[in-house]
Structure 1
């Protein structure tokens, strides 16, 4: 139980700290805009420096593909269109439950606009209980709980491609959406064998969408990314060349180019973009994208009215003007229909989420099947039993 009386005494310190941080952030933002103006005058030169010294730069800086101060109005959506979305949830494995297994539940949504067609709102559950599902990842030092979340990412992508492949959308404009980034940073430190179990199925799903010419986006609300700001660090670098390993190796405090920390990209575009506008296109330079092949990830920032959202998409969407325009117009329309967040993603989440009652019914069903199979002493651990009750 949380003691609010004891907690109240700490609130004043938090408010004072946040006030100080707000003042410091305003100063950092002013500094960032000064550097932005300088970079806009020499953008091509800095891009060339980045490409020449990318192997020696110790931070991930995105590459601008359009003038860095670009602000473009997004087209209104067509009256007839279709939106696909998936989102996932899970029941994590626990040794204290009646059986050591886990469940992945993928929420699926298809919304047809202006077509007088019924939507699809359902979920696709899958239970994992075999030894190869539970223990294979441990050979790479990956906990089962982590492996479960990686498998969920695969299931979301595969389900999205399956929806699009099996649905007749009558050649109307369409959009496929997932919640979160398409840059799977978590794959970078994994062993090659483990990564090859996760990334190829995801890329195959994206290729299926590409074959259907259905643009695909990852929507990030309240993004904390700073890839675009990191490009400004090339201008802030006090050295002749941005060789981080040579000039700044071993620095324990902030490097001299870290003059914006901890600002995020969204802070910059909050004052540049008007509602309904997008920033210029950027190409991410995350190291894991070397494994993506032709599915490299591009992004832009969009003023959706309530916030600055980061929208990511594969290279084939960015390089096709008609697909990009369709993707951004339908994304913005989804946010407007969802009062600040894409309605398709919100509904996919609602279909996927596993609530406390769902979890209890799942284990009850599992218990019934175990007893029917003749297993004895079926039950949770004594620790779990005591945690679910109280003598106080």
Structure 2
């Protein structure tokens, strides 16, 4: 039980810390705005420096593909359009439960506007209990809980593609504007640490799902709320570098990243900077991510991003290359996204509903294991039940 009286003693110092941080953040933003103007004047030169020296950087910097002073007000979404979204949740395996298994639940959402059509709001559960499902990842030193998360990512992509492509007419036919959304980034960091055998089971299915969306001309978008990325801000560090050549390994290899002379606005995030530059309904310049992990992606699936003031926050919006390179499709996708945020009162309604369909609450977990217990007893199994430890933790004598 949380002792609120003892906790209250710590609150004043916490609030003072955040008050000081707000002041410091504003000072960093002012320095970043000045640095941004300098960078804008040498943008093309700095892009060439990035291309020549990026393999010697000790940080990842996005590459601007539009002028840094780009400010575009997004237009309203077409009256008739459709939006697709998926999100996932899971029940992790536990040796203290009735059976050692795990469950992944994927929420599916299909919303139609101006078309007099019923929406789709449901979820697809999948239980994994076979030895190859449970113990496969251990040969690579990957915990079952981690592997479950990777499988969930695959299912989210596959079910999103399957749902959207079944609905949308074949390429070349007339169809209403549409958008496929996922909650979070399109850049899956965990790929970098996976052994090749594990990558072959995770990455190709995701890429195949994305390719099906491309063939059907259904734009894919990742919506990143409360982004902590600093890829765009890191590009400004090229202008701040005091050395003749930006060879970070040679010039600053012995320094911690935050102690380097180019890191004059540390720890400013992209969203904080663009929060002072964008008006509600505006987007900033488009960038191409240069994160090393994207070398595993197909070229058409390289990730581009921009920041949008959606009114309630500065959201990082990510799309694959084939969407970013189609100006009309990209603009249309942003318009649909902004309309979703408006309908969701600050967060895309399709993503919020996908989460609500996917989430597994305490009662759902109890009913799942009760159903499993009943079936195991019917099958003639005995001594079925949770461990004494788990049973004891669910009650208290205090």
Name whichever of 252-261 and 309-318 sits farther off.
252-261
Q: Specify which of 254, 257, 276 is matched with residue 271 of structure 1.
A: 276
Partner of 2:153: 153
Verify: 1:85 aligned to 2:85, yes or no: yes
Partner of 1:53: 53
CA offset digits 1:149-194 (Å, max 9, x no partner): 1110100000000001211466111100000000001211211111
Q: Which aligned runs of 4 or more in structure 1 are off by greater than 2 angstroms?
A: none
Unaligned 5+ runs, structure 2: none
Deviation at 1:221, TM superposition (A): 1.0
Partner of 1:231: 235
Secondary structure in structure 1 of the residue aligned to 2:259: coil
Q: Following the alignment from structure 1 to structure 2, what is the Cα–Cα distance between the partners of residues 224 and 168?
A: 34
In the TM superposition, 1:379-390 aligns within 5 A as 379-390=385-396
CA offset digits 1:219-267 (Å, max 9, x no partner): 0111111100010111111111111111111214621111122211011
Partner of 1:74: 74
Unaligned 5+ runs, structure 1: none
Q: Following the alignment from structure 2 to structure 1, what is the Cα–Cα distance between the partners of residues 77 and 272?
A: 27
CA offset digits 1:100-126 (Å, max 9, x no partner): 110000000000000000000000000
RMSD, aligned CA = 1.0
Q: Following the alignment from structure 2 to structure 1, what is the Cα–Cα distance between the partners of residues 28 and 96?
A: 49
Verify: 1:121 aligned to 2:127, yes or no: no
Q: Is the 8 A contact 2:275 2:309 kept in 1?
A: yes
Deviation at 1:147, TM superposition (A): 0.6
Q: Is the 8 A contact 1:215 1:326 kept in 2?
A: no
Q: Following the alignment from structure 1 to structure 2, what is the Cα–Cα distance between the partners of residues 154 and 256?
A: 41
Secondary structure in structure 1 of the residue aligned to 2:319: strand
CA offset digits 1:320-378 (Å, max 9, x no partner): 11210111010001001111000000010000000000000000011111111111111
In the TM superposition, 1:173-322 aligns within 5 A as 173-252=177-256, 254-294=259-299, 295-322=301-328
Q: Structure 1 length as normaliser, TM-score?
A: 0.98
Q: Following the alignment from structure 1 to structure 2, what is the Cα–Cα distance between the partners of residues 154 and 66?
A: 32
Q: Following the alignment from structure 1 to structure 2, what is the Cα–Cα distance between the partners of residues 352 and 250?
A: 46
Q: Following the alignment from structure 2 to structure 1, what is the Cα–Cα distance between the partners of residues 358 and 99?
A: 22
Q: Is the 8 A contact 2:168 2:216 kept in 1?
A: no
Call closer, same or farther: CA 1:168–1:296 in 2, change over 3 Å. Answer: closer
Secondary structure in structure 1 of the residue aligned to 2:380: coil
**How many residue pairs align between the two structures?**
392
